[in-house]
Structure 1
Amino acid sequence: MEISIWTFILVVVFGSCSWLGTNSVWMELPLLTSHLPEGWNLPSYLAADVQIACAGPLLVSLLHRLCPSISLPRAPIIIGFIVLACLCQISLSIWWDVVARVGSGNFSVCLYAFLFGLAFVDSVSNVLFLPFMAQYNPTYLNAYFVGMGLSALIPSLLSLAQGTANYKCVELDGKLVPDYLPPRFHVSAFFFIVFCWTCITGVAFILLYRSGAHNALEEERVNEGTPLNDKESVGSPSSKSQEERDPTTDTEVATSSPRQGDSALMGPSYIFLLLCTALVNAQMNGIIPSIQSYAALPYSRITAVILAAAFHSYLRVVFASLLREGEQSASRLFWCGVFIQIGSFFGSVIMFPLVNIFKLFTPAPPC
């Protein structure tokens, strides 16, 4: 199949919405921690909020397990989730600093609420977008992972342009104290720019779907054990098995040898890759974000975090590419997304008590 540059670009742009909303909040931590009442403990609260939102993939997984016969229109659902992300992002740009008193303290309730919506969309994208991409040529799957990398890179570059956490040390009463420089543009402007890009990703998906490129591998990839399939594809002649299309060759088909791609990743190798995927995402989405303000904020995100994200993204691409091989790619990528969320959840569950209950981390002096 000939690769279309136009389709490749659309897939990259579409893939960039996968974790764009959640990453945009992480990139604003230097300003959020200095303006909001939670202070340095804010990242761990946000990480817990994100992982609660990860109930979305759990619901999809239960639907997959308990109701395997249910088939839902995948494309309209994806568009609906992108619209939800746009609504949360624009709301975040307006009300990100609204706080309310809960119990004995003040908390950033609007930030938690809208981040929950963004994280819900982003987490479901792991089990919704990946199986959708299984309908495309494998080269386009790589383009999707490039886009996933951009979902972290775009907010990072925007944050660097904003000039967050820039300060100089000045002497005050015989002590060196940080004098934080004002950002080049406000937090609200940052979130609004991300909102605009999210809208662009939605347009890219619509153009991508209308191009029909996903029909290239439809015959082999439509119904592979995920509950979210395009209804227009289910039951079509191209989706029927060889036995149904040619009853005269039932015996020959039934006695044919197993597909080579399916036997490439079975048993221990398959489980090992899923566990590695969970481990990488436990670090990327749970452990590092929970302690990012302690580890990187005093020295700026230019040292440790961007490189760490790059290495983790590379490993995620490698594991998902291996799982993509074979005839059951949609089902494997679905479970790849499930294990991404399992790892992310346990990473945050482990770090939350270490940061907020046992107080194992203390802020480093900025000067």
Structure 2
Amino acid sequence: MASANIGPLVVTLAHKFCREHVNERLAIHTLQGIAVLASLLLAFFWHLDVRVGKKNVSIPYLSLVFVLSVVCCTSNVTFLPFMYNFSAQYVKTFFLGQGLSALLPSAIALFQGAGVAVCVNATVNGSSYEIQTRYQEENFSATVFFFFLFAVLFISAVSFIVIGATLRPERAGLRDEYRQEVYHDSNEVQPSLGETHHRPAFSPNMLFLLSILGLSTALSYGALPSVQTYSCLPYGITAFHVTAILSNVAQPVACFLTMLLPCRSNVIFALLSALSLLIGAYILTLAALSPCPPLLDGVAGSILVVLSWLIFSGVCTYLQVMIGSLLHSMSHMALLWCGLVIQSGSLIGALTVFPLINVYHLFKDGDPCYNSC
């Protein structure tokens, strides 16, 4: 996944050194075509492995997942700058689509039942009994799941073709109603139609927004998803699955809230960022204390961990959508940096947590059926 960030790097360098030759629409069509083909090939070849030395390695699976990872990482630095051609409202619907793209596969994976555990009484040594964790067989195979991904990506690609054929882009110089409100509230001199691209590349306000965005994505996309099982599973299977579902539901709900309750106040952004940091610290503490986090014996602990993940996901998504909308009002390059910061934050967050989990083993798995504390 980390190496897949070569995609955003290539796109960013292209915008830097040969911007006049960058065709964002063509790049998006290409990425979507690659994603559709890779997901289709996964459905047929995910189970194959290749003999390398003395062990079998799933080279087809790893290769195709890497291709999909490159597409996923690159999408933020292609779709977001492309959205500059349209009204700011489409930025919010873009993030709404991102939220749904996380919710739908997660819901299908939960329905598949892979990794679902049940607690059973098992006989030990023919005389005594103890509660053990047993994992159920999945309801359908991984092949079906990958065909579902193929269908979603295919529909997405067709939808983008339809949008390109039916939705007429606005000229970059035209300012929609949202952009006029931003200039009015910020007391800046509103530029003329030909001056939009000649403003300073980085204003203090833009740097502030990008900093908040980077912190939010580092936590919500990189660091905390890696420790979700450690923070939730000690409280039981139900708490874990409810958290997994509601944290994904919170993302599209937060996108709708940005349409009903928009915000352009840096003070509010700072307060929401501080709130996400506090909740994130609580979640990280629960994960670090696994398998014996606080309030393990009562229902209060389960409620708190579910609410923590729900509020955290909602707040981070709200910040990302509103900041993306504000950056849309600044410039095309601001949206490019928006996508780059989102991807960079995700990478930094993931790389920070990876050695803590896989090298130093600071987090311990909790058994949902047995309390060893």
Q: TM-score scaled by structure 2?
A: 0.68
Q: Structure 1 residues 96, 302: CA separation in 2 closer, same or farther (over 3 Å shift)?
A: farther
Query: Which of 71, 78, 87 pairs up with 2:21?
Result: 71
Residue in structure 2 matched with residue 259 of structure 1 by the alignment: 191
Contact 2:2 2:347 in 1 (8 A): yes
Q: Deviations over 1:109-136 (max 9, x none)?
A: 3332222111111111111111111111
- How far apart are the structure 2 equivalents of 1:102 and 1:56? 28
Aligned partner letter, 2:213 = T
Aligned partner letter, 1:136 = F
Residue in structure 2 matched with residue 60 of structure 1 by the alignment: 11
Does 2:72 correspond to 1:122?
yes
- How far apart are the structure 1 equivalents of 2:225 and 2:45? 23
Aligned partner letter, 1:217 = R
Aligned partner of residue 54 in structure 1, secondary structure: helix
Q: Structure 1 residues 101, 274: CA separation in 2 closer, same or farther (over 3 Å shift)?
A: farther
Report the Cα offset of residue 105 of structure 1. 6.1
Aligned partner letter, 1:190 = F
Aligned partner letter, 1:209 = G
Q: Structure 1 residues 100, 347: CA separation in 2 closer, same or farther (over 3 Å shift)?
A: farther
Does 2:164 correspond to 1:206?
no
Does 2:323 correspond to 1:319?
yes
Q: Structure 1 residues 150, 264: CA separation in 2 closer, same or farther (over 3 Å shift)?
A: farther
Query: Which of 164, 175, 182 pairs up with 2:130?
Result: 175
Which consecutive residues of structure 2, in runs of 5 or more, have no partner in the other structure?
176-188, 249-309
Aligned partner of residue 134 in structure 1, secondary structure: helix
Report the Cα offset of residue 208 of structure 1. 0.3
Contact 1:149 1:310 in 2 (8 A): no
- How far apart are the structure 1 equivalents of 2:228 and 2:146? 20
Does 2:95 correspond to 1:91?
no
- How far apart are the structure 2 equivalents of 1:258 and 1:168? 62
Residue in structure 1 matched with residue 242 of structure 2 by the alignment: 302
Q: Deviations over 1:42-61 (max 9, x none)?
A: xxxxxxxx121011111111
Q: Structure 1 residues 116, 362: CA separation in 2 closer, same or farther (over 3 Å shift)?
A: same
- How far apart are the structure 1 equivalents of 2:161 and 2:224? 34
- How far apart are the structure 1 equivalents of 2:218 and 2:325? 19
Aligned partner of residue 366 in structure 1, secondary structure: coil
Residue in structure 2 matched with residue 8 of structure 1 by the alignment: none
Q: Percent identity?
A: 33
Residue in structure 2 matched with residue 242 of structure 1 by the alignment: none
Residue in structure 2 matched with residue 274 of structure 1 by the alignment: 210
- How far apart are the structure 1 equivalents of 2:154 and 2:70? 17
Aligned partner of residue 21 in structure 2, secondary structure: coil
Contact 2:14 2:22 in 1 (8 A): no
Q: Structure 1 residues 219, 273: CA separation in 2 closer, same or farther (over 3 Å shift)?
A: closer
Aligned partner of residue 165 in structure 1, secondary structure: coil
Report the Cα offset of residue 191 of structure 1. 1.3
Q: Structure 1 residues 292, 191: CA separation in 2 closer, same or farther (over 3 Å shift)?
A: farther
Residue in structure 2 matched with residue 196 of structure 1 by the alignment: 151
CA-atom RMSD in angstroms: 2.7
Does 2:95 correspond to 1:145?
yes
Q: Which has the higher contact order (CA 8 A, sep 6+)?
A: 1
Residue in structure 1 matched with residue 340 of structure 2 by the alignment: 338
Q: Deviations over 1:22-55 (max 9, x none)?
A: xxxxxxxxxxxxxxxxxxxxxxxxxxxx121011
Count of residue correspondences: 279
Does 2:350 correspond to 1:348?
yes
Q: Structure 1 residues 310, 60: CA separation in 2 closer, same or farther (over 3 Å shift)?
A: same
Does 2:68 correspond to 1:113?
no
Q: Deviations over 1:86-109 (max 9, x none)?
A: 111112222223345667765543
Aligned partner letter, 1:176 = I
Which consecutive residues of structure 1, in runs of 5 or more, have no partner in the other structure?
1-49, 222-256
Query: Which of 212, 217, 237 pairs up with 2:171?
Result: 217
Q: Deviations over 1:245-297 (max 9, x none)?
A: xxxxxxxxxxxx66298989953221121122111111222213333443445
Aligned partner letter, 2:242 = I
Contact 1:265 1:323 in 2 (8 A): no
